[in-house]
Amino acid sequence: MVPHHVEREHTLNWFRVFWDGDGDYPGSSDANSCAANGCEETHDGSCLCKTKALESIPFGSVDSISKEDILHNLFIGAVGPPSDSVPSARDGFTAHIVGGDVDQSTVLSGSNISFRNVPHFTSLIGVGSRGGEQNLRNAQYESDAVLEHYFYHDNVAPFLCTRIMQRFSFSNPSPRYVASCVEAFRSGSYSSGGEIFGSGEYGNLEAMAASILLDREATDVAVTSDPSFGSLMEPMIKNGDIPMSRDFQVRLWEIDKKIGQGSYS
């Protein structure tokens, strides 16, 4: 799901809904397919839809509505019924009404449609005056889960490979070169000259470093004739290289305004 006002190309902030049961979303059919609703089918088979939440009053009473009416008009799930609500059994569903009036506190139950919320470890259950069971252990578990999610993100390997290649004097690595490094990072293994580098575990830096330094794009002398090969010297180093080699004293006052890079950037 993506917020309705956000373009997909401008964000990666969406989440996948894992529906319980067979995995199909409610009302899934040939007539109610991903494309029919203006959604986009992604590479993993899920359906990416732009959504927005609207607040309105669909029912003024529960006397004349059916379960089909509820599924057709209500799309946001609710927490459990309030403790002071009174259950009223209807045809295919139960209305939990507070104070005898059907309003925003009313909960309608009876559907077996549900999906798993995003996993979290910090409890939100109230405990007396403390407000919840949050503690240091839960916060650490939550932090570990987030970091693990980031570590296994699809963008981590190409990002690290490109940045480290640039630090190894390859400012413009080819797509093949980056892809080889990405494969080494993800598989944890790289083979060159009969030697195998890495432990075979995801994220192994030995395998990634070997794939950068031992690749033909780094060792073949023929690539030096390519004008795009190599690394550009950073402006700060370039402008300070000659003066410092002659033991000149260089004044760096407001140097960033002149060359676009400061001494500590």
Task: Give residue for tokens 């795009």.
Answer: 228
Write the pLDDT tens digit of every residue in 18-53.
Answer: 666 665 666 666 766 777 777 777 776 677 777 777
Nearest to 121 by CA among 105, 110, 132: 132
- The edge-to-edge listing of strands for the beta sheet with 86-89 is 86-89, 94-97, 107-109
Write the pLDDT tens digit of every residue in 157-178.
Answer: 999 999 999 888 888 888 999 9
Q: What is the rounded average pLDDT of the residues 75-95? A: 80
Write the pLDDT tens digit of every residue in 105-122.
Answer: 888 887 666 666 666 666
Write the pLDDT tens digit of every residue in 205-221.
Answer: 999 999 999 999 888 88
- For residue 179, pLDDT over 80 is answered with yes
Q: What is the pLDDT of residue 122?
A: 63
Nearest to 67 by CA among 97, 37, 26: 26
Amino acid code (one letter) for 150: Y
Distance CA 214, CA 69 (A): 65
> Would you put residue 3 in left (φ > 0), alpha (ψ -120 to 50) or beta?
beta
Task: Tell me which H or E stretch contains 47.
Answer: strand 47-48
Alpha carbon separation from 39 to 5, 8, 21, 50, 200 (Å, rounded): 14, 11, 22, 7, 39
SS3 helix, strand, coil % of the chain, rounded to 5? Answer: 35, 10, 55
